[in-house]
Structure formats: structure tokens, C-alpha cells
A = this chain, B = another copy of it.
Amino acid sequence: MKNEINMSDVWKWAKDLFPINRSLTGKGNLETLKYLKDIDNNLSIKYFSSGKKVFDWTVPDEWNVKSAYLIDSKGKKLCDFEVNNLHLVGYSIGIKTAMDLSELDAYLHYDKNNPDAIPYRTSYYERRWGFCISYNDYKKLIPGEYKVYIDATHFSGKMHYGELLIPGDEQSEILLSTYICHPSMANNELSGPLVSIALARHIKSNKALGRYSYRILFLPETIGAISYIHKHQSILESNVIAGYVLTCVGDDREYSYLPSKYGDTLADKAAQSVIRFIDPNYKKYTFLQRGSDERQYCGPNINLPVCSVMRSKYGTFEEYHTSKDNLSFISENGLLGSIKAYTDILFSLNKNNKFKSTVTCEPMMSKRGLRPTMSGEPGVIINPNLINILVYSDGKNDVFDISDILDLNPLDVISGQDTLISYGLLRE
């Protein structure tokens, strides 16, 4: 596929969106969604109301933070939310108090094994407060009294999300789901929204991707996916033929694949078929190693055809869920690789058919210039793929089956099928 992605745009979006404080709810989420809507006006900003029951869960209150920091006995400001929004435990309650370091200690979170990183902590469903600090800074804290300021509010409000529906020639849909609930971290998770919105633009400008409809979702993780499934379960189950959770798609290391519940869906077939030709050594995880919204799409009592193609999977890199997962951990190249990989997957799905040969026995390829007229001539290139594709086009095999049988890139299978169709040798 021709690459029409303008990576300088994508990188600008990354820089603009990175500093915004995101969580399950709140102003930062709305600001993020509005920014995405500026990129693609088709994106609808929707919401679920706090308190709504969704399956086993309840949509949480909205949370907003104005400021949050500590002041030590010498008046030094520490753990300032303005400097890095990871300093504040997500969903912390507002508080204005003072206490001795010995008492404060219970509210401080750090990671001895990753001493120069601020860890990422949240407490969505139990009201508490706390600060996150690098272990190196923690060790420098002086004894004495600390002032604690958290200007944060919880109230019955809205949990916003973005929904981008792109109609195709067919009603059947491809689902792309990513999440907007992570504050200032880059691979996990600004990369998912970046790649998703870039794909949306690419899909719209590309007729070859226009067969299927698309449902692209920007959700708070877990509760957002659960709420969305709660509202749309029936349409998802009837329309989605393949779906992907886009997360950790920004770094430039190996490709990874995490299957659906049983690993046997069209989404899995397409993902593996494409990725193994991009990266023969791609890392294959099991569904037991899942950790993102496939937990819901392939959850109890539901089994949507949803899997995930990633670069470095969440939990496998030391920058994960810390302040080190910043813009220098991801790259234009990493994002571009993911965009290309997903474009190839979407393209393969759009071109996926079970064709049948229009001829019986081998057709005469030489009269079509597809094989030399003289036998045994050295140096003549004969493409056996065309005949092989034709032989296995018996109405039973789709593009990925034929790719598998022939050990041939599905993009080459499609290209061969296009050639055969142009010669009238294949039909649906």
C-alpha cells in the first residue's frame, strides 16, 4: 500500500497531547478528545453518566485536579502535579493538611527497583490520596513537618469517550479500540490513540480500505470498554468481523501479538498472517498474558474476534507505568511501523475473499504472457504463485489460508488474485 501517512503531523499530535492529565474521567480526557476531533471531525464525543450500572460495575464519579504538591519544612515544593502529573495518585481526594514525615510516609509511593522513575499509581474505586516519587528523591526527603495540598474534586459527572464510525460498502465492521485514560506516558498509552487517529485518516483517504465499516473507539480502559460493551453488545456481536486493541504501538522494537480468547478468529488469522512477513521473529503471547481491553472484548460471557498487535508489550519493558515511558521512549519510526502493520492487516481483511477458479485444470499461462513459450529456457522467471493461488481457490480458502498453504505473504496472495481476476481466471 502506498504510504500516505504524514509522520510530522503525528509527532506534533504526540507532543501536544503528552502533557495533558488523563484519567478515567475529567477535563484532561475531554481536552484530549477535542484535540482528536480537531484532527477528524467525524469523531463523536460521548459519555456515560457517573453512577450508571454497567454489568458488574458502576461508572465512577468525575475527577478533576487543579493542583497538588507537598511543601517540606524548609518551604521546598515537592511532588508537584504541575511538573509531572504522575506525582499524584490517580483519583486522589482533595486534602489540605500537614503531618510529620513519619506519618506522610504511608502516602508516598516509590519503586526501589527503578530508583530514578516516578511510578504510576491509581485508586479509582476506593477513596484515598497519595503521592508518587522516585526512590532517589524519596531518600533525599528531610525530616520534619510537610504540608500536603491536593486541590481535587470528585462529583457525579460524566465519563467521556470518543467514537469514530466510518461507514463502508458493507455493514460488517472492523473494530479498533484504544484508551485515553493514561496521564503523561507515551508508549502506554499515548501511542494507541495516535496510531488509531492516523489510521482513521488513512482509511478515509484510501478506497482499498473502504469495503468494511470501522468503529474506532477512544475509551477509558476497563470501565470504558465495559460500559461501551454494555451499551452496544448486540451490535458488536452482529457486526464486528475483526477487531484490535491498539496499545503499546509506539516504540521501535520487535512486534508482538496477543491472541483472542481461543486465538481462532479472523482477527487472529489476519494479524498473524501479516505480521510474520513483517517480522518473522515477532513475539507471540498467549491470551493468559493479556492485560488490556481484550480482557473485556474476550471476557466472561462474551467472545468478540478481538486480538492485539503491539510493539513492546505492556509489562515487558522497564519504562512501563513510570515517568520513563516518555516521548523519548517512542519514535516516529516506531509509530510508523505500527501504522503500516495495521494498514496491511486492514487491507488484507478488506481484500479477503474465498475465490473460485473459472477454469478447470491449469489455464494456458503462456498465451497470456505469464509463462515463457519455450520450455526449459534458463534465466526465465516463472511465477508459480499464480497457478498455486488458482489451484487453492476452490471456494474453501480465504487469503490467509492460501498464504498459509503457500507460505506466501498475504499481500502477495492478494496481488496474485488481482492479476488472476484481471485475466478472468478467478471469480467470487
Which A residues lie at the B interface, using CB under 8 A?
A: 55-57, 89-90, 109, 111, 119-126, 128, 222, 225-226, 229-230, 233, 261, 288, 295-296, 298-303, 321, 356-364, 366-367, 373-378, 384, 387-388, 390-394, 406, 425
Contacts and interface: CB of A to CB of B under 8 A. Distances in A.
A57 B361 CA distance: 10
Given A366-B126, A374-B122, A376-B119, A359 B301 contact: yes
B391 A121 contact: no
B123 A375 contact: yes
A374 B301 contact: no
Which of A225, A261, A360 has the largest count of B CB atoms less than 10 A from its CB?
Answer: A360
B126 A374 contact: yes
Copies of this chain: 3
A395 to B, nearest CB: 10
B360 A302 contact: yes
Contacts of A384: 288
A361 B391 contact: no
Given A126-B366, A226-B361, A295-B362, A376 B300 contact: no
A222 B366 CA distance: 13
Nearest to A322: B376
Which of A123, A222, A229 has the largest count of B CB atoms less than 10 A from its CB?
Answer: A123
A56 B301 contact: no
A375 B55 CA distance: 21
Contact of A300 (B111, B298, B367, B393): B393
Which of A233, A358, A376 has the largest count of B CB atoms less than 10 A from its CB?
Answer: A376
A359 B300 contact: yes
B373 A123 contact: yes
Contacts of A288: 384, 388, 406
Given A301-B356, A359-B300, A391-B299, A128 B374 contact: yes
